Amino acid sequence: MRSWWVRLRRHDPERNAAEYVSGELPRRAIRWFETHLLDCEDCWREVLLGRLGRAAAEDAREPVPRGLRDRVRASVQMTGGAGGEER
Amino acid sequence: MTNDQDSFLRATMGAMDLVYNLSRRLVRSREEAEDLAQDTYLAAFRARTERRRPQRVEPWLATICLNLARSRYRSRSRRPREVALEEGAAVVGEEDPEGAALASLDRDALHLAMWSLPEEQRVAITLVDLAGLSTAEAARVMGTPRGTVLSRLHRGRRALAGLLGSAVQEVGR
């Protein structure tokens, strides 16, 4: 039996929701889980909260500050090549 | 610029967004985060020229960044002020509750909310939801089993959703 099938059948709403929201369930497992969601209040709630939290996390992304790329480039150029010794 | 430097920068500069955003969640100030990002690249360059080259640069840089933060920056970082999160707040009665809530929260508020999470949850969320690593990759970076990462990830998301739920309720008033 596939490991994902064993995990889903154990009914661990937190873990199942985490894998589902992360997009890490195989296609067949997704079909099974989405059918299960219609009847399972616990899993439905965890998936809803997981999606909301993921959306918030994605929205917290910050742009790289202007100048940081140049600063990093310059610092790498100041560092020695092969052998990695800082000059 | 040497060929070595050029090839390193070509291979890794695309991951700057990951390194900076991870740094922002490991140290408190923007200045410290920029320093940490720069130090990560320097450490990676030295490691790359001395040892074998990684297949995927994102998890490799994330590991270096995390280790540097733990070894050199942790003592400087103070625990932030706790922000109360209503865990599991109900979200009903909105056509687009995510959009409405997110629109009402500026990035600083979200950043503060991220800092209210325990470090392991904050790092798991940053690696998976912000940086796009798989949970298996995040587990290797964090040196923990994948199941632990899934648990930290979900609890962190749930806590952030609690904040979002509060915001939705505020918007609805």
pLDDT reading at B39 higher than 70 = yes
| Those residues with Cβ within 8 angstroms of residue A43's Cβ, 6 or more apart along the chain or in another chain | A11, A13, A16, A17, A33, A36, A37
Query: What's at B106, amino acid-wise?
Result: D
Residue among A64, A73, A75, A86 with most chain B CBs within 10 A, to mutate: A64
pLDDT reading at B83 higher than 90 = no
Domain coordinates of chain B in residue numbers?
A: 3-73, 97-172
Is the CB of B50 less than 8 angstroms away from the CB of A84?
yes
What is the pLDDT averaged over residues A14-22? 92
Give chain B positions within 8 Å (CB) of A71.
Answer: 34, 38
> By mean pLDDT, which of B16-20, B90-94, B104-108, B152-156 is the weakest?
B90-94
A12 DSSP 8-state letter: -
Note the CATH architecture for domain B3-73.
Orthogonal Bundle (1.10)
| Those residues with Cβ within 8 angstroms of residue B52's Cβ, 6 or more apart along the chain or in another chain | none
Give chain A positions within 8 Å (CB) of B151.
Answer: 14-15, 18
Is the CB of B20 less than 8 angstroms away from the CB of A77?
no
Contact predicate A63/B111, CB 8 Å: no
For chain B, what is the mean pLDDT? 80
Whether chain A has a CB inside 8 Å of the CB on B92: the answer is: no
Nearest residue to B165 via CA among A45, A14, A58, A49: A49
Q: pLDDT tens digits, residue range A37-87?
A: 999 999 999 999 999 999 988 888 899 998 999 999 999 998 865 444 443
Question: Across the A/B interface, how many CB contacts are shorter than 8 Å?
Answer: 157
Domain coordinates of chain A in residue numbers?
A: 25-58
Whether chain A has a CB inside 8 Å of the CB on B106: the answer is: no
The top-level CATH class assigned to B97-172 is: mainly alpha
Is the CB of A45 less than 8 angstroms away from the CB of B151?
no
Give chain B positions within 8 Å (CB) of A19.
Answer: 135, 150
